[in-house]
């Protein structure tokens, strides 16, 4: 009986004990901390390169024009042709200039003929003056001879005068002798007068009167007298030379203008435009051709307004030219000072060397712009950042501090390739819950995995 009573009582006690133990375990399950996956926030330098598309443009262009008007007579180049500096591109014609050139050529011939006549006349005048000088010398010798003869005749007459007194000479003979002496005296006087007339302009007084000193030698004196007595002809020569010079200058001027009718390339490059055809009239200074200098070209592309402050001149750029299977490295050489009013983009240029002329203006380019000083951000997986339900502009991360959930507001720079680049809100080393449950609440205990 006792043994049976004992066995009967034990099962209820065991049941009560088992039941209490089960209730205790249920209470522990109720307060167990949630298990979460976490990541550690890290700092990384963000590669801020961007890729954009554009086209190739010429570096400079040069309008080739003529300083004078005319009609197109010949064309030697077409659009797309490569031309070198100084190469003949076209020839114009101006009939008025051709007629004017003929007039100037005739004027030059006339002036040269006048100069030739004046030079001949000068030679004749010089010979004439030299002849006069020689004639004066001859007259001087003749006068001296006559004076000697006259002195001799006078001496004879004086001797005969004694004979006449003695009756040795008749009165008729003596009288005839006196008349002969008088004739000789008159002849000498006439010769002196003739010499005086012939020496007009050839005397020492004439030299002094013209402001010159009398030369010491006869030869120099005669040269000076020739020069002084041919001044009028020398003036004619100077006038004729001036006429020749003016005619030559006029002809040179018209020739230079006619040379402008031959249109030549001022630079090396590609003909980008031919603005006239044969037979068409070309006004003065009108552009006949436009030459594009392609020894260097620009890769032209656009950068969005939000990115423009990240880049500056000398920023490295990689340029790809798919059509010619070519890649080049360059730097930004120009940035437009203002944005396009329609797209809001800024135009950017990078200079490319093109010595082989393989890069043609207008072809497609792909540009990758690099940044040398990459900014540093705190990086998290994109799945760790939650957008607030109350404020769409508010971004939240669930951090873990001392085993509890703490919500942190963060400012995001960008989300790229599954990464969130965070400007502010958390620091490197912060423990952040990845893919947080929407049922997690701030302050809740969690267990990290």
Q: pLDDT tens digits for 301-354? A: 988 888 787 788 888 889 999 998 888 889 888 988 888 888 888 999 999 988
Q: Which pLDDT score, from 0 to 100, does residue 58 have?
A: 86
Instruction: Write the CA distances from 434 to 91, 186, 420, integer angstroms.
Output: 79, 152, 12
Q: Do 146 and 191 meet the contact criterion of CB atoms below 8 Å apart?
A: yes
pLDDT confidence of residue 17: 36
- Taking the CA of residue 280 as centre, how many other CA atoms within 13 Å lie in the half-sphere pointing to its CB? 12
The DSSP annotation for 256-297 comes to HHHHTTEEE-SSSEEEEEE---TT-EE-TT-EEEEEEEEEEE
**How many Å separate Cα 186 from the centre of its chain?**
89
Q: Which residues contact 343 (CB under 8 A, 6 or more apart)?
A: 302
Helix (H, G, I), strand (E, B) or coil at 412: strand
Q: Kindly report the CA angle at 448 between 444 and 449, in degrees rounded to 5?
A: 150
Tokens of 18: 């088992």
Q: Which residue, 292, 245, 297, is CA-closest to 270?
A: 292
Q: How far is the C-alpha of 397 from the C-alpha of 434, rounded, in Å?
A: 9
Residue ranges of the chain whose pLDDT lies below 50: 1-30
Task: Compute the 3-state secondary structure of the chain and give helix, strand, coil in percent, each to the nearest 5.
Answer: 40, 30, 30
Confidence at residue 16, expressed as pLDDT on a 0 to 100 scale: 32
Helix (H, G, I), strand (E, B) or coil at 327: strand
Q: CB–CB of 247/107 below 8 Å? A: yes
CA 56, distance to chain mean position in Å, is 22
Q: How many helices (H) and strands (E) does the chain have?
A: 6, 22
pLDDT at 60: 86
Please give the radius of gyration of the chain, using alpha carbons only, rounded to the nearest integer.
60
In angstroms, how far is CA 51 from the centroid of its own chain? 34
Tell me what pLDDT residue 3 has. Answer: 36
Checking DSSP bridges between strand 88-93 and strand 38-40, what pairing results, if any? unpaired
User: How confident is the model at residue 372, as a pLDDT?
Assistant: 66
Sorted by sequence, the CB contacts under 8 Å of residue 10 that are 6+ apart come out as: none
Per-residue pLDDT, 18: 37
With a threshold of 0.75, does the pTM exceed it? Answer: no
In whole angstroms, give the CA distance from residue 280 to residue 224. Answer: 64
Q: According to the model, what pLDDT value does residue 269 have?
A: 87
Q: What is the C-alpha to C-alpha distance for residues 322 and 355, in angstroms, rounded to an integer?
A: 19
């Amino acid at each position: 009986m006792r043994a049976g009573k004992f066995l009967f009582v034990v099962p209820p006690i065991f049941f009560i004990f088992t039941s209490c133990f089960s209730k205790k375990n249920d209470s522990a399950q109720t307060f167990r901390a949630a298990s979460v996956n976490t990541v550690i926030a890290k700092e990384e330098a963000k590669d801020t390169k961007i890729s954009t598309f554009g086209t190739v443009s010429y570096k400079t262009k040069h309008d080739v024009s003529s300083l004078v008007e005319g009609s197109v007579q010949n064309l030697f180049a077409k659009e797309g042709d490569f031309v070198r500096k100084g190469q003949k591109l076209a020839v114009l014609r101006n009939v008025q200039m051709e007629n004017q050139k003929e007039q100037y050529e005739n004027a030059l011939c006339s002036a040269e003929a006048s100069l030739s006549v004046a030079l001949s006349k000068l030679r004749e005048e010089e010979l004439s003056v030299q002849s006069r000088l020689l004639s004066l010398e001859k007259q001087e010798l003749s006068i001296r001879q006559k004076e000697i003869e006259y002195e001799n005749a006078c001496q004879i007459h004086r001797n005969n005068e004694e004979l006449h007194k003695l009756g040795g000479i008749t009165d008729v003979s003596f009288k005839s002798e006196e008349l002969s002496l008088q004739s000789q005296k008159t002849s000498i006087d006439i010769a002196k007068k003739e010499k005086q007339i012939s020496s007009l302009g050839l005397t020492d007084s004439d030299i002094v009167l013209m402001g010159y000193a009398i030369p010491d030698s006869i030869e120099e004196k005669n040269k000076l007298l020739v020069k002084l007595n041919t001044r009028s002809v020398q003036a004619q020569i100077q006038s004729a030379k001036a006429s020749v010079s003016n005619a030559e200058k006029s002809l040179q001027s018209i020739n230079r203008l006619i040379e402008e009718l031959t249109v030549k390339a001022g630079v090396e490059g590609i003909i980008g435009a031919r603005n006239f055809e044969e037979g068409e009239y070309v006004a003065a200074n009108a552009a006949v051709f436009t030459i594009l200098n392609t020894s260097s070209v620009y890769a032209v592309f656009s950068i969005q307004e939000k990115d423009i402050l990240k880049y500056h001149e000398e920023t490295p750029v990689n340029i790809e030219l798919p059509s010619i299977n070519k890649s080049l490295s360059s730097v930004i050489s120009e940035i437009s000072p203002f944005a396009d009013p329609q797209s809001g983009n800024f135009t950017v240029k990078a200079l490319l060397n093109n010595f082989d002329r393989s890069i043609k203006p207008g072809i497609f380019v792909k540009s990758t712009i690099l940044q040398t000083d990459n900014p540093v951000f705190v990086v998290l997986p994109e799945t760790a950042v939650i957008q607030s339900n109350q404020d769409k502009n508010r971004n939240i991360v669930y951090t873990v501090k001392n085993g509890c959930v703490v919500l942190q507001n963060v400012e995001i720079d960008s989300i790229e390739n599954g990464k969130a680049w965070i400007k502010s809100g958390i620091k490197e080393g912060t423990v952040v819950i990845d893919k947080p449950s929407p049922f997690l609440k701030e302050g809740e205990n969690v267990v990290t995995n």
